Amino acid sequence: MTYDERRKYPRIRLIAKVAHIRGDHFHYFYSRDLSGGGIFLEGDHPYPLGTKLELELSLPEIADKVRLTGEVLRVEPPEARQMGKIPGMGIQFIGMDLETKALLADFIARELAR
């Protein structure tokens, strides 16, 4: 079974600016894809596995920014580029409330229907 076959949530390609919020500081990444369970953030300096992150995401056609908490579950180091992979980190969402889950599910369903 491949990694893609094990996924619980439909995944869409989404290039969007994502802020990692740490106190009064923001560090920005660009997303590569999004699902109801997580997001992949591109970057040559991924955080270590297990790092918890507070994220803020702007979605097209959604007025309010979406605040999410996640944990780094997968890291692709800069050297992965030599194997045709995108450097960055896979973030699994944790502690998401029902309203945010529904918002993401609706957004992803609309994008998949296009």
Strand partners, 67: 56
Confidence band of 55 (pLDDT split at 50, 70, 90): very high
Q: Alpha-carbon distance 36 to 4, whole Å?
A: 14
Residue 2 in this model has a pLDDT that exceeds 50: no
Q: What is the pTM of this model?
A: 0.88
For residue 25, give both structure tokens.
């500081």
* Per-residue pLDDT at 61: 82
Mean pLDDT value of segment 17-44? 93
Q: Alpha-carbon distance 109 to 113, whole Å?
A: 6
Q: Alpha-carbon distance 29 to 41, whole Å?
A: 6
Question: Hey, what domains does the chain have and what are their CATH numbers?
Answer: 4-113 (2.40.10.220)
- Express as a percent the part of the chain with pLDDT over 70: 94
The values of phi and psi at residue 7, to 5°, are: -65, 140
Residue 8 in this model has a pLDDT that exceeds 90: no
Q: Alpha-carbon distance 12 to 107, whole Å?
A: 10
List of residues 6+ apart from 108 with CB closer than 8 A:
9, 10, 12, 34, 35, 36
The values of phi and psi at residue 80, to 5°, are: -60, -25
